[in-house]
Structures are given as C-alpha cells and as structure tokens.
Amino acid sequence: MTRHKKQSTPSPLEAHLGFWLRFISNHVSLRFQHLLEAEGVTVTEWVALRTLWSQEETTHAALIQTLGMTKGAASKVVSRLEEKGLAERQLADGSAREQSLGLTTKGKALVPLLSALADANDAHFFGHLPAAERQALMQTMQALVQHHQLKVVPTA
C-alpha cells in the first residue's frame, strides 16, 4: 500500500525571490542587448571587448576563462571581433604557438561608448532608486555571488 501525502497548495510564482530576480534580469538584459545590437555588437562580444579593454593584451586562455566558454566558442567570438575590426590576434612574445589578444584602435574607441550604454541601461532601470538602495542591492548581489562561489560571467 502506497501512502500519498496530502499535497499542499503550491506557492505563487510571485512569492519567490528568484522569480523577481529573473523578471528584472530578463528586462535589463534584453534592453541592453538591443542597445548593443544597434551598435553592431552582441552581449558576448561586449563582455570580451570590456575584458580586453581592462588589459593591454591578454591570452586566449585568459579570455576563455573570463567568458566561461569552450576554446572553440571563444575563438568564434574573437573571430567576429576581428572581422569587425575591433580586436586582433598576435603571437605572444616568445611563443610560436600562443596567441595574445588585444583591441584595435577602433575597438579601443568603441568600448567607452558601449560602456556609456551599459551605464544608461542601469540608470534606466535603477536610477529612480536612492543611491543607498542601489548600493545595498549591489552589495546583496555581490554577497550572493561570493556565497555561492559563482565564477562564470553572464554573456547571454
């Protein structure tokens, strides 16, 4: 004889913090995606560009780790950036095989413009909140990332 426990009434979607995080995240991400696409760049390409901006040059392996992608997928992103004239591959100093990646002059000029779009997107969604609330929200999100040891940067 199988015992069936009486099933309780499921909680509504809106009762879950994850629902609200996803709801906001989807809207923030979609709007930013459209802003980037108007400039001819994908979100993944933006993350790669911003990563390359932070360093004069980086290795393919370091970019793969930052993007959280396979070598092949990251290579395709770099190839698209090269086709757009935004990044270039060169042989790393002292190595006949390892490549270093860097931004072109065009790529270096584009990153601040795209960054301004990211800032504007944040302002659109969060600008109405008092600075202290925005800071508290940021710290809460960062604490969750740290607690769960989340490493992969969202690129999609």
Inter-residue contact 42 to 120 (CB < 8 Å): no
Model confidence pLDDT, tens digit, residues 92-129: 666 667 778 999 999 999 999 999 999 999 999 999 99
CA 95, CA 111: separation in Å to the nearest integer? 28
Q: What is the identity of the amino acid at 7?
A: Q
Q: pLDDT value at position 94?
A: 64
- Which domains occur in the chain, in start order? 19-34+41-147 (1.10.10.10)
Q: What is the identity of the amino acid at 111?
A: V
Q: Tell me the helices (H) and strands (E) count for the chain, helix number first.
A: 6, 3
Please state the pTM of the whole predicted model.
0.83
pLDDT of 61 strictly over 70:
yes
Question: How many other C-beta atoms lie within 10 A of the C-beta of residue 26?
Answer: 10
Nearest alpha-carbon partner for 153 in 75, 63, 73, 71: 63
151 — pLDDT class (breaks 50, 70, 90) = confident
